[in-house]
Amino acid sequence: MPTRRARIPATRYPVERFTLDNGLRVVLTPDRSAPVIGVAVVYDVGIRSEPEGRTGFAHLFEHLMFQGSENLEKLAHFRHVQGAGGTFNGSTHLDYTDYFETLPSNALERALFLEADRMRGPRLTEENLRNQVDVVKEEIRVNVLNRPYGGFPWLTLPPVMFDTFPNAHDGYGSFDDLESATVADAADFFRRYYASGNAVLAVSGDIDTTETVALIERHFGDVPARPAPDRPDFAEPALTAERRTAYTDKLAPLPAVASGWRVPDPVGDFAAYLPYVVLAEVLTDGDASRLVERLVHRDRAVTSVGGYLGFMGDPFDVRDPTALLLQSHLPPGGDVDKVLRTVDEELDRLATDGLADGELARTQARMATHLLRDTDAVLGRALRMAVLEQQRGEPGLLGELPRLVGEVTDEQVRAAAATLRPERRASVEVIPGGAR
């Protein structure tokens, strides 16, 4: 008897899309329930785009975009957003870089002016570059070099799994590469990737659509037109033999292990990809999930286990090649080999026996809840729609994701589990070197 699936309806967010003459794509999703707006600009450039010899450059450039712009001095962006009662930030991902604000709706024009002004050109000076190189180096020290399990596994697993520079290199960057970056490098990076034709602007929340369109045309319409660059083919062949490595973390008190398996193209083969998203949650989401119940509660072989799609943990904002990841932290003296064998056993059991009655429906309901919660706030909606437009040309897919998750079948999850074989796996083990 097939296991029950969750019946999850689609969420109908209003969506309006248009493209300016300079190539900038725009997504509007009005929501008049509260006087708040979210504004997001997503550029189709990320860690995979940075050239050899310039590791960490995409993230460094994100920092430079906050150091003043064509008409604004350094720190003016901060003052204008915070002075209006808003918040702001930016982030660098494998496949895109985003910049965003949450503001009272009466500050919409202020946000549009700020984003349009730095789209025309940030202040790329030697002083700003050297200052932000130092800031990024300190960020690496805090988040990677001086933190237990720093960079595990998002920095440590890709070079085991992949062979090409775009997919395998350290996205935070080496100090040597960062220090050798020049203003000319930054200007070339801006010219190449920060084009209006390579960007998406999304505005969500308490907006009047007609007025918002007019404001966008006023502020972004005269940004010089530059086309999007050709996106390279980042494809790599799948693994045919298990890869595994280990390293000692001098600060880590306990052992850990992370494994990854290649999965179908999340954009080009979405129907085949989606069961893996559900599978990761079946395996690790909650105390009743397969691997938590077996590894944590029954065997006590690990102290924690997590599973997710994509090296940065979001299954719906990544392109191919990507992976399903499992990571565990072990107790003192824990046996990594035993953990990997147990994972293989549970995957085989799932592929052979399928899911228990209600297991799939429970998982799908939790997933839908998380999806709805993450996009309930206007900024979450704007960011996700901007990325969906950028990568797929389908911002409205945001409202369909809960329903699509609910339509994944037991048979699809079993078939996905059957592909996660040891010979297709790449693993990285952390050997503890810190205080016990």
Cα gap 334→337, rounded to integer Å: 9
CB 204 within 8 A of CB 29: yes
pLDDT score for 1: 45
DSSP states of 319-383 as a string?
-SS-EEEEEEE--TT--HHHHHHHHHHHHHHHHHH-PPTTHHHHHHHHHHHHHHHHTTSHHHHHH
User: 108-120 and 76-83 are packed helices; what angle lies between their axes, rounded to 10 degrees?
Assistant: 170
Asked if residue 232 has a cis previous peptide bond (ω within 30° of 0), the answer is no
37 neighbors 24 (Cβ within 8 angstroms): no
Read off the DSSP letter of residue 122.
B
C-alpha 3/C-alpha 90 separation (Å) is 42
Which helix (H) or strand (E) segment is 112 a member of?
helix 108-120
Q: What is the pTM of this model?
A: 0.95
Return the CATH class of domain 243-432.
alpha beta
- State how far the Cα of 55 lies from the Cα of 51, in Å rounded to an integer: 7
Q: Please identify which residue in the block is written with the tokens 């085989």.
A: 348
pLDDT 10s digits, 266-283 = 999 999 999 999 999 999
Segment 141-148 long-range contacts (CB within 8 Å, at least 24 positions apart): 143/172, 144/172, 146/251, 147/251, 148/249, 148/251, 148/252, 148/253, 148/434
Q: Does residue 153 have a cis peptide bond before it, meaning omega lies within 30 degrees of 0?
A: yes
Q: State the residue for tokens 């077996």.
A: 294
pLDDT, residue 11, reads 82
The structural domains of the chain, with segments of one domain joined by +, span 16-221, 243-432
Name the residue with tokens 């430079």.
64
CA distance 230 to 164: 18
Question: Are 16-221 and 243-432 equal in CATH topology?
Answer: yes
Q: What is the pLDDT of residue 435?
A: 53
Which residues of the chain, if any, have pLDDT below 50?
A: 1-2, 436
Q: Contacts for 407-412 with beta carbons within 8 Å, 24 or more apart?
A: 407/5, 408/5, 408/274, 408/275, 408/278, 408/360, 408/364, 409/2, 409/5, 409/360, 410/2, 410/3, 410/5, 410/354, 410/355, 410/360, 411/2, 411/354, 412/274, 412/275, 412/278
Report CA-CA distances (Å) from 229 to 45, 226, 394. Answer: 10, 9, 20
* CATH tag, 16-221: 3.30.830.10
State the pLDDT at residue 351.
97
